[in-house]
A = this chain, B = another copy of it.
Amino acid sequence: MSREIEVCLSPSLIPSYTIEGRIVVVIDIFRATSSICYGFENGAEMIIPVASVEECSSYEGKGFLLAAERNGEVVNGFDFGNSPFSYTKEKVAGKKVVLTTTNGTHAIKEASAAHKIVIGSFLNLNSLCSWIENQDEDVLLLCSGWKNKFNLEDTLFAGAVVNTLKTKFSHFCDASIAAEDMYLLAKDNLREYLYKSSHSQRLKELDIEDDIQFCLKQNICTVIPVLENGKLVAMERQ
């Protein structure tokens, strides 16, 4: 057993890591990857991550739900942004969604050279970890951060994955160690810990406390979103 798990704390650090041949888990806890997991759990057929608001707009009138978020808010003129409550069964079951967000969709694009790109959040933590455990590839946990800066919530989730899987891997980078230690500090009350976070404060100003609480729920989803030909779909279970 000599699998390696690394944590990349920001998309800006990707050039320093090996992507090719690895499983990359994209993490954007507040809120893109939480909402993506919830959307597939609720029957979304497909979510297409796109880099720009313009690219998102280009899907208009073609039978897609258009979701665009910038700086934490729904972009004017779009169906919705990245609140998980926009990804309920009533709204997304059987639907195709096109999504652009400040951080998460950017990270997905940056990881395009990976063997496989999957989507992680507290919502599907155990399911994701069980699947990773049964693969052969090394793993890179890619935190989307906030505008390429480190953020606490994505790092805490990376730490939760490291903590869950640590007996299955033999190599850890310093960022894995730090992320796990932070998770162990915070795990008894993630919300309380995150009050210290600048991004969490910013989200609080956006009046989305319900979203934050929801995105910190663990294991309410079993789906693992996976990128196939540029589109996210629910992974088929073996």
Contact residues of A with B, CB < 8 Å? 9-10, 12-13, 15-17, 146-152, 155, 171-175, 177-178, 181-182, 185, 196-199
Contact = CB atoms under 8 A, between A and B. Distances in A.
A198 B6 CA distance: 11
6 contacts: A12-B12, A12-B15, A13-B149, A174-B199, A178-B178, A181-B182
A199 to B, nearest CB: 6
B172 A155 contact: no
Contacts of A175: 149-150
A152 B178 contact: yes
Contacts of A147: 16
Q: Which 10 A-B pairs have the closest CB atoms?
A: A16-B148, A150-B175, A152-B174, A151-B174, A177-B196, A16-B149, A12-B13, A174-B197, A174-B198, A12-B12
A18 B149 CA distance: 12
Contacts of A181: 182, 185
A71 to B, nearest CB: 15
A143 to B, nearest CB: 11
A177 B156 CA distance: 13
Nearest to A185: B181
Nearest to A186: B181
Contacts of A177: 152, 196-198
Given A13-B13, A13-B148, 6 more contacts: A16-B147, A16-B148, A150-B174, A150-B178, A177-B198, A178-B178
